[in-house]
Amino acid sequence: MRPPVSRAAFASVLLGRRAVGASLVAARCASSAASPAAAVTAYDHASFVKEIAATDPPEHLNSLLNVLQARGEKIVSPGAKRGLIPVVVPLSESPAGNLTSLLRWPTAPTGMEMPVVEVGKHGLWLLAKNVKQYIHRILVEADINADTGDDVWDAVGEAGENLYTKGDFKESQLADLDVYLLKKVGLFPDVIERKTLRHLEKGDNVSALITGEFYSRDQFPGFGRPFVFNAEILKRVGRTSEAKDSARVALKSPWWTLGCSYEEAAELAGWEDEQIEFIREKVTEEGKREDLKKGKAPEQVVLDEAAFLMDLACVDGNWDDVVDRIAECYREAGLDDVAKFIAYRE
Ligand SMILES: *[C@@H]1O[C@H](CO)[C@@H](O)[C@H](O)[C@H]1NC(C)=O
Ligand SMILES: *[C@@H]1O[C@H](CO)[C@@H](O)[C@H](O)[C@H]1NC(C)=O
């Protein structure tokens, strides 16, 4: 089986090429509207998102920052991107060193909200689909945790009351926190995965399979993680060939969205290093010439190069060496604002 030929972020995979074209146009319009000030300025998070990441700051962003701080995290400058995967806007660091950030998809469809992610060793872990759901979840958790509850409520400000009414979890009489979160707040990868694993532990393989399948049905656009997890579940109940298929779908997503190392996903897919070799070839001058000869649009070729370089950097864990080339690819594709964001580091 041949690996995918186009992988410009997730747009080309999930939405087809027309959507890539559409987001190109949207991004161009945005870039002509604002021209960010010189790099020395220290930005607050909202203006950084607007002026450097060239997208709308999420609603309640300041509330989230306050809440994270109340939870004992240290606020991190939004431009402190050195050494990190270049598509994030850092928000805060936990005492354990985990970095909570916003994700700025390079070719996000118009209107898509910025997800909240944790920056990990192998890329990104999706914490929540948007800031609102993440705050909502923290408030529910604070409501049942007497230790940090008050600090969080003091910090959240007005946004809090719009999102959650204290005591609602208890009143709902739902079985546990996970059930409440899924029913009343939103879908969170860790909660869905825990739920699936519980089914397996109880020997309810059918429910585990149904939940795993649900997880991978486009609940988290662009992320390969649900397909990796579904592959693990399929494998555990003995459906090896379906497990392989699901892992192969996962590897068509950006590798930094797998929630595990390339090797782990490739093993589930029954592959070794051939995908890496294939992609290394794709980003050579010769590989790019081949794609052009096959009729791929020049813009698509450079967008794919950017995506492939990110896959490879995720395997090597070295971002700083390739960030400038990745930015150049976006510039060549006409996405000047994305290029500027990618290349930005304090
Ligand atoms: C912090 O990151 C580690 C490694 O990725 C992870 O195992 C752990 O669950 C994270 N901790 C929190 C509190 O999210
Ligand atoms: C359910 O899956 C487990 C492995 O997780 C397996 O040992 C068991 O045989 C399966 N049960 C059924 C009824 O298929």
Q: Does domain 187-272 have CATH number 1.25.40.10?
A: yes
pLDDT at 202: 97
Ligand 2 atom showing the smallest separation from residue 200 Cα: 5
What is the distance in A from the centroid of ligand 1 to the CA of 118?
A: 8
Question: Domain limits of the chain?
Answer: 187-272
Q: In terms of pLDDT, which residue wins out, 164 or 23?
A: 164
Model-level pTM? 0.87
> Region 28-39: what's the mean pLDDT?
40
Q: What is the mean pLDDT of residues 183-198?
A: 97
Distance 98 CA to ligand 1 centre (A): 6
pLDDT tens-digit map of 296-346: 999 999 999 999 999 999 998 889 999 999 999 999 999 999 999 999 998
Ligand 2, residue 205: give the atom nearest the CA: 1
Ligand 1 lined by 334 (C-beta under 6 Å): no
Q: Note the pLDDT of residue 122.
A: 80
Closest alpha carbon to 106 in 260, 310, 313, 324:
310
Nearest ligand, measured from the Cα of 261? 1
Asked if residue 95 has its Cβ within 6 Å of ligand 1, the reply is no
Q: Which protein residue's CA is at the shortest distance from atom 4 of ligand 2?
A: 237
Our mutation pick for probing the ligand 1 site, out of 73, 94, 98, 99, counting the most ligand atoms within 8 A of Cβ, is 98
Residue nearest to atom 5 of ligand 1 (CA): 120
Mean pLDDT across the chain: 88
